[in-house]
Structures are given as structure tokens and as C-alpha cells.
Amino acid sequence: MSEQVNNQITILPSDADTMQVGEKQMTYHFDVYDGPLDLLLTLVIKNKIDIYDISIAELLEQYMEQIELMRENEMDIASEFLEMASRLVYIKSAMLLPKYEEEAEDLKRELSGQLIEYQLCREIARMLAPMVDFDTFTKQPSKVDFDLTYNRVHPPEDISAAYVSAVGRGQRRLPPDRSAFSGIVSRKIVSVSSRIIYVMRRLWHGRRVTYGELFTASEGRSELVATFLAVLELVKGKRVRIDGEGDDAIVSMIDKEK
């Protein structure tokens, strides 16, 4: 059986053999920590580690030594201490992998922030400890009606900038307007095969047209490009021939029977 008195672990005899020796208490002086942050902060101060740039590897080694010391003294280790150990191991592992280096730095800064906050809380508790007096009478604070009217005066420029910023954030959360997709969705899609049929109809029954005439009826860039690709396909397949150069070149069908 054990009890905790003044940050010490006091071991009380429990078996019959020990009870015959006497009722003398056996006290082992061993530090007791309020939690994993208390242990980490103690190690940081003891080993003079920069709290703003913690050496995770060094801190993990010191932390695991304390955990092992607790086990050797047959102390019950709270789950939060083991959870902090796994957290330190994860940060150290992430720092060794370039892929997770940025995440490791964020976790490291988060741990440093928690230790700094805990250090401030512990310092304030130390300052308030002498004020504790059980002989002093205290009472509940009286209810006070506070004036919640906002009295701060802001320049018009700051108010305007804050409004524009708030409106911009709200607009970013909204789905994009249909007009944003008009250049993609509403654009007419023209297939090359349809323009091949168009060119063949223009040249049906031995008709001959100029190269420029094939593009006069085209509407939009999509039809122009599709018509140009259609002519290339027909020339490549030896179904159409072009005589001459420029827009005045003559386009005609090739008679395969000849």
C-alpha cells in the first residue's frame, strides 16, 4: 500500500512478515509529476533545453529514462504519460522523413507552445501558493451588471477594410456562379468527323471549291479548327487533293476508279 505526501511516495508495509518488523513507514524520495507536461518542463529546465527550439531526440531520451525509472520503482504509470511518449516518438519519426518534415515542425511548435503556457501557469501557481490561508474567510463575489456597450472608436478606413475582408471570405465559401464555366461548358464542341462529312458534301459529284470557301461558313474557332483537321485527314487518306497554294488553292475529290 502506498500514499502520496508532499510530492513523495510513502510505501506502507502490507504483508504479515513485514508487519512483524514493526509499523515503521518506509519513505522513498521520488519526484511525482502532475502530468506529462510537468515532467517535460522539468526535463527542459534541468537539461537547459531551448523551449522555443526543442531537441525532440534529446527530450525523448530523457523522458523515456524517467518512464523506465517509474517502472523500476513499481509505480502505476498513467496513460497520459504513455500517450505523451508515443507523441514524442511520432514527432521524432516524422522529422526523419522529408515528406512529413513540415508536419513535424508544426507538431514541434505546438508542443513548445503548450510547454510555454504550462510554464506560465506553474509560475502563477507558485506566486499564488503563499496566499492560501485556511483561516481566512471568503465569500462568493457579488453580482455586477456590466455595461456591454462597445465604446471603442475605429477609423473609417479600418471598418471599410474589415467589411471588404469579411465579404470576400463569404464569397469564397459560395459555389462558383454558372458564368464562371461559360467559357468551358457553353462553348460549342465540333467533331472532326462531322466536318469531314461537310467537306465531302461540298465536293460531291465532282464539284471543285477553293480552299478558302471551306472555311467561310465556319462559325467560331472550334469549327475552323475541326474543318482544318478534316481536310488534313481527307488528304492523308487520299480522298481529297489540293492544287495550288493559299486560299485560292483548288480542293477536289480523288476519283479512285481512275
Q: Delimit the domains of the chain by residue range.
A: 33-131, 192-253
Q: Give 200 or 186, the one with higher predicted confidence.
A: 200
For residue 171, give the amino acid letter: Q
- Specify the 3-state DSSP secondary structure of 218: coil
pLDDT recorded at residue 181: 63
Give the pLDDT confidence of 55-93 residue by residue, as tens digits. Answer: 888 888 888 888 888 777 766 667 888 888 888 888 888
Q: Residue 18: pLDDT band by 50, 70, 90 thresholds? A: very low
CB 11 within 8 A of CB 28: yes
pLDDT recorded at residue 172: 60
Q: Is the pLDDT of residue 17 over 60?
A: no
What is 100-131 written as a DSSP string? GHHHHHHHHHHHHHHHHHHHHHHHHHHHHGGG
Q: Which of 22, 21, 39 is nearest to 75 (CA)?
A: 39
Helix locations, 26-181, DSSP H: 36-46, 56-72, 79-95, 101-128, 156-173
pLDDT recorded at residue 213: 83
Which residues lie below 8 Å from residue 88, measured CB to CB, with a gap of 6+? 56, 59, 60, 63
Q: Is the pLDDT of residue 248 over 60?
A: yes
Q: Give 168 or 151, the one with higher predicted confidence.
A: 151
Query: How many beta carbons lie within 10 A of that of residue 172, not counting itself?
Result: 7
Region 32-61: mean pLDDT is 83
Number of residues that make up the chain: 258
Which class would CATH give 192-253?
Answer: mainly alpha
